[in-house]
Amino acid sequence: MKNGFIKVAALTPKVKVADPKYNKERIIELINMAAAEGAKVMVFPELCITGYSCGDLFYQELLLREAKEALLQIAAWSEKIDGIIFVGLPLEHNAKLYNVAAAICGGDILGLVPKTHIPNYNEFYEYRHFTAGNQQPVPVRLDDDHIVPMGTRILFGARQMPGLKIGVEICEDLWTPNPPGTEHAMAGATMIVNLSASDEVTGKDVYRKSLVSSQSARLVCGYVYASAGDGESTQDVVYSGHNLIAENGTILKESVRFINESIFSEIDLQRLQEERRRMTTYGVSDIPYMGAEFNIKEEYTGLTRFIDPSPFVPASAADREKRCEEIFMIQAMGLKKRLEHTNCKAAVVGISGGLDSTLALLVTAKAFDLLQKDHKEIIAVTMPGFGTTDRTYENAVSLIRSLGATFREVSIVDAVRVHFRDIGQDEQVHDVTYENGQARERTQILMDIANKMGGMVIGTGDMSELALGWATYNGDHMSMYGVNASVPKTLVRHLVRYYADTCGQEELSRVLRDVLDTPVSPELLPPTDGKISQKTEDIVGPYELHDFFLYYVLRLACTPKKIYRLAKIAFDGVYDAETIEKWLKTFYRRFFSQQFKRSCLPDGPKVGTVAVSPRGDLRMPSDAGSALWMEELEHLHEDEPADKDSGHVSSDAVSAGESETDRLVKEFSEDFDRLFKDFMK
């Protein structure tokens, strides 16, 4: 529960149709197993106490009475369990039958939520048995000791975790044009649980998964979907136990169908609340809801969900290629419009042989293709200085020639030496003045060439550098249009690699691959033995770490402690905790102190969900204090979990799974022996 995480479970017991006593035992077994795994929210399928497929047996008084008794016994058992449990059953009230979800916690039945939308088409005929549920809660007497509210407008909230409010949908509710979950979320629900008995037909699983994903995205919520499986009647249909856990559009966990697999994951409630705070269009409802509170223990939630170490880069090759193609076109279209609007005769790009300038030149060439302009009107300028190496110089020249741009070479050495003499800078002192003097000289050259050619300077700096302030103010920091301004360094690499893979030019592809293999460097210090001596990541830290930090700071507004925890999981085996802590502190220090550079950035296209433009995503004062964040960074190790977060199943859970298997095998053997003996008679 610390850091906003709460573990949830979607659980599918193997039921026997119309046997509440048997089903109660299976439900309790799964509750115990889920509790041992640390689950605080446990969701079972629709009508699981009786089985969904009872048909006209739902009319039987005996079945309804035993179902209610099973519910009361499960509730009594829950006194030993730390968590809230949702189970389904048929319930009679005022001579009408309702398909309800019962919320159970700490020995109590907190409330009953009836199904709103009753399907009566194709293979479904629920209206034959059930009545659509009431919205406003009404009291329902289960026995002398239990009078429980029943209605769809009930939200279940944890006293120890104010961000957790749970609304309930039941199966068909999700498949309708106006699911009740919409109203629940607008009333404050951050999690929707769905007790379902969705039968399986070809292709339905894809649609079901898209529904759960899109509902969680549209409502900015966690969504736990538990469906009926093996054990239900197969008279006309088959149930696959397709369980799903989603968060804000992302499927965190999906069960293997047809084996009654129980699944677990963790919902990040802090992330959901931050996203809702950010969205000014996220409506709030004034419809009155009843709040049903429950208690859970405050403790660390061990994380089993995947923490992506590269949040800006899609994992699959197909998605990555699509993302690169899309971003490349956004960059090129942005520049195309700016060139059209200003009637520029040329575009001027400084080419160093490094990643960023390479991408900027590729984007510029694409923009010229879209404008049907000759690449000769792209003025590509190399400006060798004190730190330029043969490798980067040769790559720059080859790149320019491969793209058919106009090559210009202007050495900055003599001009910088004159400048150093004028300001009294010792050339042997390799301080910040030594470095920045070269960067500003290069920018001056580009600006003046652009004036002379009637063109504009295309900026090359990327978002990761801007976040860290790794740019010389009024040097490489400045341009007339920054095509890379919202592209993180980790994604720059993939964009260049994508172009190398798809350009169809052998020589250009070779050059691009060598650029990818070259260490990132501003090349402002003299080389050592002809090789780059100044490696950026040795100075400011690995860009893959900084891009991870950047995403979680700006996109999800996480605290330093939470980012540190997530980074340790994401980069386990790559960076140790001390290294992550060191560069996280560097990130925060530089991020706050360098905002003044971002406050006057040139225009540039936004390509993703994170950007640092002062006119768009980051309205941050240049003199904002960082004391709160730096103070928390000094206390990163307080309240750390004693055990390491991992996706491994605990030994208790393994044992529970093995005993369950043994029990099922034993039951099958006993049933088979009985049937065989009956047959022989």
Catalytic residues: 46, 115, 171
CA distance 606 to 604: 7
CA distance 247 to 256: 19
Yes or no: say if 138 and 281 are a contact pair by the CB < 8 Å rule: no
CA distance 657 to 652: 9
Instruction: Give the pair of three-digit tokens for residue 491.
Output: 């994604």
Map residue 12 onto helix, strand or coil.
coil
The secondary structure of 516-581 as a DSSP string is: HHSPP----S--BTTB----HHHHT--HHHHHHHHIIIIIS---HHHHHHHHHHHTTTTS-HHHHH
Calculate helix-pair angle for 506-517, 390-403, nearest 10 degrees: 150
∠ at Cα 550 (544, 552), nearest 5°? 105
Yes or no: say if 194 and 219 are a contact pair by the CB < 8 Å rule: no
Secondary structure string (H, E, C) spanning 243-284: CEEEECCEEEEECCCCCCCCEEEEEEHHHHHHHHHHCCCCCC
| Residue where the block lists tokens 């109660």 | 24
CA distance 569 to 573: 9
CA distance 614 to 534: 30
- According to DSSP, residue 255 is labeled P
Name the residue type at position 558.
C
CA distance 422 to 414: 12
Q: Residue 114's closest CA among 126, 125, 130, 94?
A: 130
Instruction: Give the pair of three-digit tokens for residue 3.
Output: 């850091």
Map residue 256 onto helix, strand or coil.
coil
Yes or no: say if 171 and 115 are a contact pair by the CB < 8 Å rule: yes
CA distance 361 to 350: 9
| Residue where the block lists tokens 């400048």 | 419
- According to DSSP, residue 335 is labeled H
| Residue where the block lists tokens 């980790």 | 490
